[in-house]
């Protein structure tokens, strides 16, 4: 168990400390459950009432709320960011295990220093692993693929051939990187497969969620930019390009050859059709369907919100009548214009 003084924590998260710099804590907890040996945080004012009964050794909060808590305070303009930084200090560290005797490393593969290969890991021909790389149980790194320094690949991950993963990435269990894109040409009643000859390039500091798939490119590579964050069960099709710092929530699917700019956020269960371009700073809300390119930054939504079923059914019926209503309105406008003349 790691112990940190509040003085050290203030330095780590860039906060101003009001309290005893030598006071020691050993973990994080919510306002409602925190004990004196733990730190909590207030990022949402609807929980401010819990400060009156909070038993935390210290709370990360905005200076305007400091008067609400009688204990040690770590003052920060963005308490949630402070919590995020501090959470990394208390995260369990992976033990160095070296290379398990059941791991398989091809004779042509290259391993950096301090590499962890868990039981059943397979490193293919001419694959290259950087320093301090960790490969989890039963994960496979395909031929000619490269894994950057400090990258952590969890259990049961499949990295196909000709995939490049940057430094300090995290790939969670069940992810598949570099499977064939969905490409077929019609030949009468049959389908002819288009061989997917590209690869996948993933930048530094990328996180890929559990069960997420990133397909290889048909000719050029599929590209995932620096600092991109992908949630669980996200589908990235062939030749998609994701700009730096873009984040995509779970169960979203992006069709082939679509390009997203930098600093985009795509909420859960969205669909983005192929061959589109979304500019920097586009934010798409949950369960939206994007069918055209977006050239201006901002928030975009589609679909209808939840309502009582009977009312929703009436509105759904009216949606089907919109085209007919538009034609009738246009006709009425023409008739009014004629009367005015």
Q: Using an 8 Å Cβ cutoff, are 196 and 183 in contact?
A: yes
- Give, for 327, the enclosing helix (H) or strand (E): helix 309-340
- Model confidence pLDDT, tens digit, residues 7-39: 999 999 999 999 999 999 999 999 999 999 999
4-89 and 157-300: identical CATH topology: no
Those residues with Cβ within 8 angstroms of residue 106's Cβ, 6 or more apart along the chain or in another chain:
123, 124, 125, 126, 127
Active-site position among 3, 238, 263, 275:
238
Q: What percent of the chain has pLDDT over 70?
A: 100
Average pLDDT value for the chain: 95
Does the structural domain 4-89 have CATH classification 3.40.1390.10?
yes
Beta bridge partners of 104: 122
Name residue, tokens 């962890």.
116
Judged by phi (left if over 0) then psi (alpha if -120 to 50, else beta), residue 136 lies in beta
- Model confidence pLDDT, tens digit, residues 35-44: 999 999 999 9
Separation of alpha carbons 133 and 167, rounded Å = 9
Sign of CA dihedral 254, 258, 263, 264: negative
Q: Is the pLDDT of residue 95 over 80?
A: no
What is the pLDDT at residue 340?
85
Q: Using an 8 Å Cβ cutoff, are 204 and 167 in contact?
A: yes
Quickly name the fold that domain 157-300 has.
Answer: UDP N-Acetylglucosamine Acyltransferase; domain 1 (2.160.10)
Predicted TM-score of the model (pTM):
0.90
Q: Is the pLDDT of residue 306 over 90?
A: no
- Cα 59 to chain centroid distance, Å, stands at 27
What is the pLDDT at residue 338?
87
- Model confidence pLDDT, tens digit, residues 57-68: 999 999 999 999
What is the pLDDT at residue 294?
98
Question: Would you call 309 helix, strand, or coil by DSSP?
Answer: helix
- Residue 75 to residues 28, 84, 89, 327, Cα–Cα distance (Å): 16, 15, 18, 60
| Domain boundaries defined on the chain | 4-89, 157-300, 309-341
Q: Is the pLDDT of residue 339 over 90?
A: no
Task: State yes or no: is 238 an active-site residue.
Answer: yes
What is the pLDDT at residue 214?
98
Separation of alpha carbons 15 and 201, rounded Å = 37
């Amino acid at each position: 168990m790691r112990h940190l003084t509040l003085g050290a924590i203030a330095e780590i998260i860039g906060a101003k400390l009001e309290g005893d710099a030598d006071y020691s804590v050993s973990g994080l907890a919510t306002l409602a459950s925190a004990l004196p040996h733990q730190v909590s945080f207030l990022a949402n004012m609807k929980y401010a009432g819990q400060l009156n009964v909070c038993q935390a050794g210290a709370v990360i909060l905005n200076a305007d709320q400091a008067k609400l808590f009688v204990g040690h305070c770590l003052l920060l303009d963005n308490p949630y960011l402070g919590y995020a930084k501090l959470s990394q200090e208390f995260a369990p560290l992976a033990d160095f295990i070296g290379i398990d005797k059941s791991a398989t490393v091809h004779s042509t593969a290259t391993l950096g220093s301090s590499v962890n290969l868990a039981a059943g890991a397979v490193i293919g021909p001419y694959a290259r692993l950087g320093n301090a790389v960790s490969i989890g149980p039963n994960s496979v790194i395909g031929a000619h693929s490269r894994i950057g320094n400090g990258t952590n690949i969890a259990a049961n991950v499949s990295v196909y051939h000709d995939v490049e993963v940057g430094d300090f990435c995290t790939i969670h269990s069940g992810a598949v990187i570099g499977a064939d894109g969905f490409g077929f040409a019609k030949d009468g009643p049959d389908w002819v497969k288009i061989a997917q000859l590209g690869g996948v390039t993933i930048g530094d500091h990328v996180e890929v969620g559990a069960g997420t798939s990133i397909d290889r490119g048909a000719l050029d590579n599929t590209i995932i930019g620096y600092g991109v964050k992908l949630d669980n069960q996200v589908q990235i099709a062939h030749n998609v390009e994701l700009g730096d710092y873009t984040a995509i929530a779970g169960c979203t699917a992006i069709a082939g050859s679509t390009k997203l700019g930098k600093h985009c956020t795509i909420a859960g269960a969205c669909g983005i059709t192929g061959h589109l371009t979304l500019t920097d700073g586009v934010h798409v809300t949950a369960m939206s369907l994007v069918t055209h390119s977006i050239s201006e930054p901002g928030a975009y939504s589609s679909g209808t919100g939840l309502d009582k079923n009977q009312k929703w059914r009436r509105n759904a019926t009216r949606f089907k009548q919109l085209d007919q209503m538009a034609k009738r309105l246009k006709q009425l406008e023409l008739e009014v214009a004629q009367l005015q003349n």
